[in-house]
Amino acid sequence: QEEEEQEADNFMFEFSDKPLLPSYNLQVSVSRGPCNWFLFSDVLKRLKLSSRIFQARFPHLEVATLPRAEFQRQVSLSQVLAQEEVPASPEPAPGAAETVELVHYEPELLQLLGSAVEYQAWSS
């Protein structure tokens, strides 16, 4: 717990030799402030895993669901997301899922994705 608090107070830098998967700052429930998420489908594609295998192998990595319209509303409010990073089509294609699946942005997942993680204290 103490270690977690220490890390929360530092800046985390993610480094990769591959272009980064987009991450989204989202509030997924009213009882919890905004935090960072990947689209689960992006992560599965990069790792070449099925959802079932991912969740069996990494049961501690948090997966959440958000209505698609709510996801798009929150993403469109971002000042720093380039518009081309915002997933397209406010009207989902017929038959498309009404929800988006998300996976929580955290150091262990970044390492699975091949990124290196470094911390830097604010005061340094």
Residues of this chain that interact with another protein (CB under 8 A) are 7-20, 22-23, 25, 33-36, 78-80, 82, 115-116, 118, 120, 122, 124
Q: Which is nearer to another protein, 17 or 91 (CB)?
A: 17
Give the other-Cβ count within 10 Å of 110's Cβ.
20
Q: Which is nearer to another protein, 8 or 93 (CB)?
A: 8
CB 106 within 8 A of CB 12: no
CB of 123 to another protein, least distance (A): 10
CB of 33 to another protein, least distance (A): 6
Q: Which is nearer to another protein, 55 or 104 (CB)?
A: 104
CB of 12 to another protein, least distance (A): 6
**HSE-up of residue 100 (Cα within 13 Å, Cβ side):** 24
Q: Which is nearer to another protein, 87 or 92 (CB)?
A: 87
Q: Could you tell me which of 107, 124, 104, 105 has the C-alpha nearest to residue 116?
A: 107
> Distance between CA atoms of 72 and 75, rounded to whole angstroms?
5
> Distance between CA atoms of 79 and 124, rounded to whole angstroms?
27
